[in-house]
A and B are shown apart, each in its own frame.
Chain A
């Protein structure tokens, strides 16, 4: 589903590479956690997957799309196949919860009738029933994060990328968000989650990829974070 082959990203030659020869293969329906400290290269990795950045070298294939052969005008089509939950939510502040989720469907030309049918069901999945008419400002951090997830999954993407979705949340809310992601994964969506929260990593017991200084330091199935933190 996701294939990175010796991907290197250099923003500035004098500062070294943000990512260096990253090779990663994620199977369909897999749930992968990417861990690493701030600046390790997690966000760069995700930005490469959404084609906000191009790799300096190396090959990326996502859902059968070879990024080398992707024209700029086809980027929107790629992004419609990938659901992304951004670290900073990226919700529209002057629109209601319902409108924010509906927005993702509007831009791809889904009919109003279909939107009115789909959006409430998705809001139900992320446990936001009854909050349809609230503005993002009126919601807690965890609720906002779940709106962002609802928006990312409303188009039923094959891949969901979540960048530190628990970053600003207290443990209880963080766990709510993770449970939603697990639910989505059970429905058959490939999930790529980045976090630096050890507790979540240990509790989830999923494949963990550790990035350190732009390189993959370890890649272990069904493991915890702390026990594999010994690579230099």
Chain B
């Protein structure tokens, strides 16, 4: 046990010494790793921002069903029950004629002329059932339901589907999906490049020390005693790169918030991105560290494998 502890200490120390000695070689490997991790970080933040935007817009969408004044409360309750039973109904609000009028007055509180006109007439607004669908893409189910003659006879007007907004939402969802896929591809490509570059860095380090490795082998060093320092070295790359990528994101948000007062670039709500980043700071850092360490460790394990095989072909 004690020996294992001593050995572990030596492996870590050797790795750190090698990291310092290989500093110049390490910079190239770390630079590409920083780029990779930063891209990953930004694709996560952008993804969260787009999701938020889509959510914000879709949550405002509902279907309004206008009821005839002749419909009694029994019929209304039955209709509400039936709509609630539909699989695509997330929630439902019923506004009576009076409530609908109150709401209308609130919405137009500034328009005195309009309010006056309404007060002078009978309540012109129909009772309304507002349905919030679970999935906007399946809104046709609701449509078919409402078009049944029996149900249609209860309605004073065609239901409003926020139709134009739906088209806009489809476009946004489509765009975000494309961006998400592009993000995944970019992340994979850069992750691969950084693995290859770290791989090369470690192979060069191994090449420089191949005599030492041979001697270690002949003196009975275990595979992990030889490999350990290389893994430690690349794990250091990973940790430093992860921290760097978080600092870069931090610096960018600071600049963005001071220079972009509007803080919104079309679909990309930068102020939300910033809030998301700040709120998940530690989780994101932990994730970046994990990724950096994994990429580093994996590349050095692969790079050392070839050199650590025992040259004992099977007879």
Residues of A within 8 A of B (CB): 50-57, 72-73, 75-80, 84, 86, 90, 92-93, 103-104, 106-112, 151
Among the interface residues A73, A103, A107, which one has the most CB atoms of the partner chain B within 10 A? A107
B binding-site residues for A, Cβ under 8 Å: 2-4, 6-7, 10, 211-212, 214-216, 218-223, 225, 310-315
Q: List 13 A-B contacts (CB under 8 A).
A: A52-B312, A54-B314, A72-B310, A76-B221, A79-B219, A79-B220, A90-B214, A90-B215, A92-B212, A106-B10, A107-B219, A108-B7, A108-B221
Q: Which residues of A contact B220 (CB under 8 A)?
A: 75-80, 107-108
Contact A110 B219 (CB under 8 A): no
Is the pair B312, A54 in contact by a Cβ cutoff of 8 Å? yes
Q: Are B315 and A55 in contact (CB under 8 A)?
A: yes
New A-B contacts (14) at CB < 8 Å, excluding given A80-B220, A112-B6: A51-B310, A52-B312, A56-B315, A90-B211, A92-B212, A103-B219, A107-B7, A107-B219, A108-B220, A108-B221, A109-B6, A110-B3, A111-B2, A151-B219
A109-B6, A110-B6 known; A90-B218 Cβ under 8 A: yes
Picked from B216, B310, B314, B315, the residue with its CB within 8 Å of the CB of A107 is: B216
How far apart are the CA atoms of A52 and B221 in the complex, in Å? 14
Considering the complex, give the chain A residue whose CB is closest to the CB of B225.
Answer: A107
| Residues of B close to A92: CB separation below 8 A | 211-212, 215
Q: Which residue of B lies closest to A68 (CB)?
A: B315
Q: Is the CB of B315 within 8 A of A54?
A: yes
CB distance from A15 to the nearest CB of B (A): 17
State whether B221 touches A54 (Cβ < 8 A). no
Min C-beta distance of A119 to chain B, whole Å: 14
What A residues does B312 contact at CB under 8 A?
51-54, 72, 75
CB <8 Å contact, A109 and B3: yes
Chain A to chain B: the 7 pairs with minimum beta-carbon distance, closest first: A109-B3, A79-B220, A80-B220, A107-B221, A109-B7, A76-B220, A76-B222
Give the residue name and chain of the B residue nearest to A72 (CB): B310
Chain A residues closer than 8 Å to B212, beta-carbon distance:
92
Task: Give A60 Cβ to nearest chain B Cβ, in Å.
Answer: 12
- The distance in angstroms between the C-alpha atoms of A109 and B3, with both chains bound, is 5
Q: Are A109 and B4 within 8 A (Cβ)?
A: yes
| Given A54-B313, A56-B315, A75-B310, CB of A104 within 8 Å of CB of B219 | yes
| CB nearest to A152 among chain B residues | B219
B7: chain A residues within 8 A (beta carbon)? 107-109
Closest beta carbon of chain A to B7's beta carbon, Å: 4
Interface centre among B219, B221, B311 (most CB of A within 10 A): B219
Q: How far is the CA of A187 from the CA of B4 in the complex (A)?
A: 30
Report whether B311 and A52 are in contact in the complex, using a CB–CB cutoff of 8 Å.
Answer: yes
Residues of A within 8 A of B10 (CB): 106, 109
Nearest B residue to A109, CB-CB: B3
**Chain A residues whose CB sits within 8 angstroms of the CB of B221 once the complex forms:** 76, 107-108
Q: How far is the CB of B229 from chain A (nearest CB, A)?
A: 12
Task: Note all chain A residues with C-beta closer than 8 A to B314.
Answer: 54
Q: Chain A's nearest CB lies how many Å from the CB of B12?
A: 13
Min CB distance, B15 to chain A, in Å?
Answer: 14
Residue of A nearest to B309 (CB): A72
Complex-state Cα separation, A105 to B205, whole angstroms: 24
In the assembled complex, the Cα of A25 lies from the Cα of B4 at a distance in Å of 36
Query: Distance in Å from the Cβ of A43 to the closest Cβ of chain B?
Result: 13
Which of chain A's residues has its CB closest to B14's CB? A106
Chain B nearest CB, measured from A90 CB (Å):
5
Nearest Cβ distance between residue A63 and chain B, in whole angstroms? 13
- State the CA gap A77–B223 with chains docked (Å): 11
Q: A106-B10, A107-B225, A111-B6 are in contact. Are A57 and B315 (CB under 8 A)?
A: yes
CB of A137 to closest CB in B, whole Å: 14
Asked whether A50 lies within 8 Å of B218 as measured between CB atoms, the reply is yes
Residues of B within 8 A of A75 (CB): 220, 310, 312
Which residues of chain B are within 8 angstroms of A93 by Cβ–Cβ distance?
A: 211
Distance A55 CA – B313 CA, assembled complex (angstroms): 10
Within 8 Å CB of B3, what residues of A?
108-110
- In the assembled complex, how far is the CB of residue B168 from the closest CB belonging to chain A, in whole angstroms? 63
Nearest A residue (CB) for B314: A54
| Nearest-CB residue, chain A, relative to B215 | A90
**Distance (whole angstroms) from the CB of A4 to the closest CB of chain B:** 15
Cα distance A109–B313 in the bound complex, in angstroms? 29
Cβ contact within 8 Å between A73 and B218: no
In the assembly, what is the distance between CA of A86 and CA of B218, in Å? 10
- Nearest CB in chain A to that of B10: its residue: A106
Chain B's closest residue to A89 (CB) is B215
Q: Which chain B residues lie closer than 8 Å to A106 at the CB level?
A: 10
Kindly report which residue of chain B lies nearest to residue A86, judged by CB atoms. B218
Chain B residue at smallest Cβ distance from A93: B211
Q: Is the pair B315, A84 in contact by a Cβ cutoff of 8 Å?
A: no
Chain B residue nearest to A57 in the complex (CB): B315
Kindly list chain A residues whose C-beta atoms are within 8 Å of the C-beta of B310: 51, 72, 75
